[in-house]
């Protein structure tokens, strides 16, 4: 495992100070925070889009023309996705919410791992893989019902019991609109926040990649934790190119130390 440099340790302390002094900090997460739970990301090393072209496997027009392509990719990823458990990065962010350090987690992820780790104020701007509906009659199906359909070994898309149309998970594909409430709430939070911590995102997909720019133009600051550089690194207050599962718990540890020091000063 990559060890921390002195500079990274200093940056972790600085990030903790920024967060503990912030009035309404928020978190933006991407697929990178879930790779340590075994779920592949999209553009990192061995990312999903290396194997499956997004314009064929991740696009709504392509899905409507031939849903079996999306479902071929989904069959491969679904077991990992459905069985995944939160990792220390998810638990660290849930703890920041419990400590009232952050106002919300805006996530591009559909794996529900933030909620499984105990966070509740989570805005899923790209939907959620645990809900499915029929493209024909809008009947809705649970993950278990869809998994049973997939197990029946059909190569094509799982079909609706009633009208026979293909099912689609409630995830946002390229070419689809984002859920309105989550989208506009995220933009409002991004404009108002004084600190946005970004964890595990390449910041390449609009409109969510614009959120940090709203924060900057509102005078807010960015903390970026990502194991690859992003195009906003030069505008960030702090950049930590390391694993979220390592860095985020260390930031929480530093915040706890600061809070204990402050409480002991007050009690003198
Ligand atoms: N720790 C830190 N960074 C990581 C880790 C990790 N453990 N694992 C991966 N990363 C980094 C990768 O290097 C990459 O820069 O996380 C980033 C993930 O970027 P993407 O794969 O592009 O994921 P994301 O930014 O969430 O993509 C946004 O694109 O395809 C759509 O809908 C999809 O929601 C997704 C959106």
Band of pLDDT at residue 225, cut at 50, 70 and 90: very high
Q: What is the pLDDT of residue 153?
A: 64
Q: Identify the pLDDT of residue 162.
A: 95
Which residues lie closer than 8 Å to 45 by C-beta, 6 or more apart? none
User: Which of 2, 28, 43, 124 should be mutated for ligand 1, with most atoms under 8 A from CB?
Assistant: 43
Structure confidence by residue, pLDDT tens digits, 7-27 = 999 999 999 999 999 989 999
Atom nearest to 42 CA in ligand 1: 21
Name the residue with the closest Cα to ligand 1, atom 4. Answer: 32
Ligand 1 atom showing the smallest separation from residue 36 Cα: 7
Q: Has residue 154 got a pLDDT over 80?
A: no
Q: Is 126 a catalytic residue?
A: yes
Index of the ligand 1 atom closest to the CA of residue 45:
13
What are the distances in angstroms from CA 2 to CA 5, 162, 242? 9, 53, 8
Residue nearest to atom 5 of ligand 1 (CA): 32
| Rounded average pLDDT over 82-104 | 97
Domain chopping of the chain, boundaries:
1-39+86-124+178-268, 40-83+133-168
CATH 3.30.1600.10 fits 40-83+133-168, yes or no: yes
Place of tokens 């920041």: 96
- Ligand 1 contacts (CB < 6 A) are 30-32, 35-36, 41-44, 47, 54, 58, 108, 126, 200-202, 204-205, 226-228, 243-245
Q: Give the active site residue among 90, 114, 126, 242.
A: 126
- Backbone angles phi and psi of 127, in degrees to 5: 85, -160
CATH homologous superfamily for the domain 1-39+86-124+178-268: TPP-binding domain (3.40.50.1220)
CA distances from 31 to 13, 226, 234, 263 (A): 25, 11, 22, 36
- pTM score of the predicted model: 0.96
For residue 265, what pLDDT is reported? 87
The proportion of the chain whose per-residue pLDDT surpasses 90, expressed as a percent, equals 87
Please check whether the two domains, 1-39+86-124+178-268 and 40-83+133-168, share a CATH topology: no
Q: Across residues 54-71, what is the average pLDDT?
A: 93
Whether residue 1 has pLDDT greater than 70: no
Q: Which of 112, 198, 225, 226 to mutate to test the pocket of ligand 1 (most atoms within 8 A of CB)?
A: 226
Mean pLDDT across 78-105: 95
Query: How far is the CA of 124 from the CAs of 106, 161, 171, 260, in angstroms?
Result: 6, 28, 9, 33
Tens of pLDDT, residues 166-203: 999 999 999 999 999 999 999 999 999 999 999 999 99
């Amino acid at each position: 495992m990559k060890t921390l440099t002195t500079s990274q340790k200093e940056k972790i302390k600085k990030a903790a100070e920024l967060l503990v002094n912030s009035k309404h900090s928020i978190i933006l997460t991407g697929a990178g925070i879930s790779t340590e739970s075994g779920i592949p990301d999209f553009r990192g090393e061995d990312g999903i889009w290396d194997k499956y072209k997004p314009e064929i496997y991740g696009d709504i027009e392509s899905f409507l023309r031939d849903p079996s392509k999306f479902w071929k990719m989904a069959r491969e990823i679904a077991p990992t996705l459905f069985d995944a458990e939160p990792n220390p990065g998810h638990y660290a962010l849930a703890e920041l919410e419990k400590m009232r350090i952050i106002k919300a987690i805006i996530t591009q992820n559909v794996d529900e791992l933030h909620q499984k780790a105990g966070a509740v104020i989570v805005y899923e701007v790209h939907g959620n893989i645990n809900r499915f509906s029929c493209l024909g009659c809008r009947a809705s199906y649970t993950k278990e019902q869809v998994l049973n359909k997939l197990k029946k070994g059909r190569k094509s898309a799982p079909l609706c019991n009633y009208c026979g149309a293909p099912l689609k998970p409630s995830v946002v594909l390229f070419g689809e609109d984002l859920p309105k409430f989550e989208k506009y709430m995220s933009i409002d939070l991004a404009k108002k926040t004084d600190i946005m911590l970004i964890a595990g995102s390449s910041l390449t997909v609009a409109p969510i990649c614009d959120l940090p720019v709203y924060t900057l133009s509102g005078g807010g600051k960015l903390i970026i934790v990502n194991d690859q550089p992003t195009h906003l690194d030069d505008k960030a207050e702090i950049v930590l190119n390391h694993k979220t599962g390592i860095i985020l718990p260390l930031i929480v540890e530093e915040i706890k130390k600061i809070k204990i020091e402050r409480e002991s000063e007050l009690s003198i």
